[in-house]
């Protein structure tokens, strides 16, 4: 296993520990970074294998994750069910962030599959209903959004910014849960 993969798993584990200590188990779901990448960039059959059949998303107000894009860049994924908004925050200055967030929202609503040279779209949450009889978050009309966030000032601190955003989202959830 590569050092990078170990780093990703360690970072994800630390966020799970932090979320547990803050008692956020019913407020925010930390989605595995690999599964997030599959949902956003995977083929239909691969996405179908990642339906998370044991997860009841209605129990959560949000999902957070990070995506390691092409093995060289990290982005932050924040799905806020209360706002029906999907944010795909890019730590690098990116003028296409709204379009990328819109696309991420579509990926959760619809993900691509090739059928006789035609691209067919299928809803991820509806796929969960078909495969696992799960109806949570099926009727939400997801939209893309852009959040204010720090921007990396160099070419290699995207992971640090993503960690800051994950920490901030956990802190915000903690405030809502424990401080009203």
Percent of the chain with pLDDT over 70: 79
Angstrom distance (rounded) from CA 97 to CA 84: 17
Q: In which residue are the tokens 């903690």 written?
A: 174
CATH number of 2-170: 3.40.395.10
Q: What angle do CA 86, 92, 95 make, to 5 degrees?
A: 65
pLDDT tens sequence across 74-117 = 888 888 888 888 888 888 878 888 888 888 888 776 432 222 22
Model confidence, pTM: 0.77
Higher pLDDT, 129 or 13: 13
pLDDT tens sequence across 137-178 = 767 778 888 888 888 888 888 888 888 887 777 777 766 765
pLDDT value, residue 120: 29
Left (φ > 0), alpha (ψ -120 to 50) or beta: where does 84 sit? left
Least confident of 35-49, 64-78, 99-113: 99-113
Range 153-174 burial, b when 16+ CB lie within 10 A, else e: eeeebbbebbbebbebbbeebb
Angstrom distance (rounded) from CA 10 to CA 165: 17
DSSP for 62-127 reads EEEEEEEETTTEEEEEEEETTTTEEEEE-SS--TTHHHHHHHHHHHHH-EEEEETTEEEEE-HHHH
User: How is the chain split into domains, by residue range?
Assistant: 2-170
């Amino acid at each position: 296993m590569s050092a990078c993969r170990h780093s990703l798993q360690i970072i994800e584990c630390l966020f799970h520990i932090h979320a547990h200590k803050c008692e956020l188990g019913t407020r925010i779901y930390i989605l595995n970074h690999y599964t997030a990448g599959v949902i956003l960039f995977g083929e239909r059959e691969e996405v179908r294998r990642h339906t998370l059949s044991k997860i009841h998303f209605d129990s959560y107000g949000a999902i957070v994750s990070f995506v390691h894009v092409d093995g060289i860049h990290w982005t932050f994924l924040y799905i806020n069910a209360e706002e029906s908004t999907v944010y795909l925050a890019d730590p690098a200055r990116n003028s296409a962030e709204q379009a990328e967030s819109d696309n991420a929202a579509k990926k959760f609503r619809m993900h691509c599959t090739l059928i006789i040279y035609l691209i067919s779209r299928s809803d991820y949450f509806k796929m969960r209903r078909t495969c696992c009889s799960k109806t949570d978050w099926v009727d939400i009309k997801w939209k893309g959004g852009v959040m204010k966030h720090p921007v990396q000032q160099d070419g290699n601190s995207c992971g640090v910014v993503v960690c800051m955003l994950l920490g901030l989202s956990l802190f915000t959830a903690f405030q809502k849960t424990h401080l009203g």
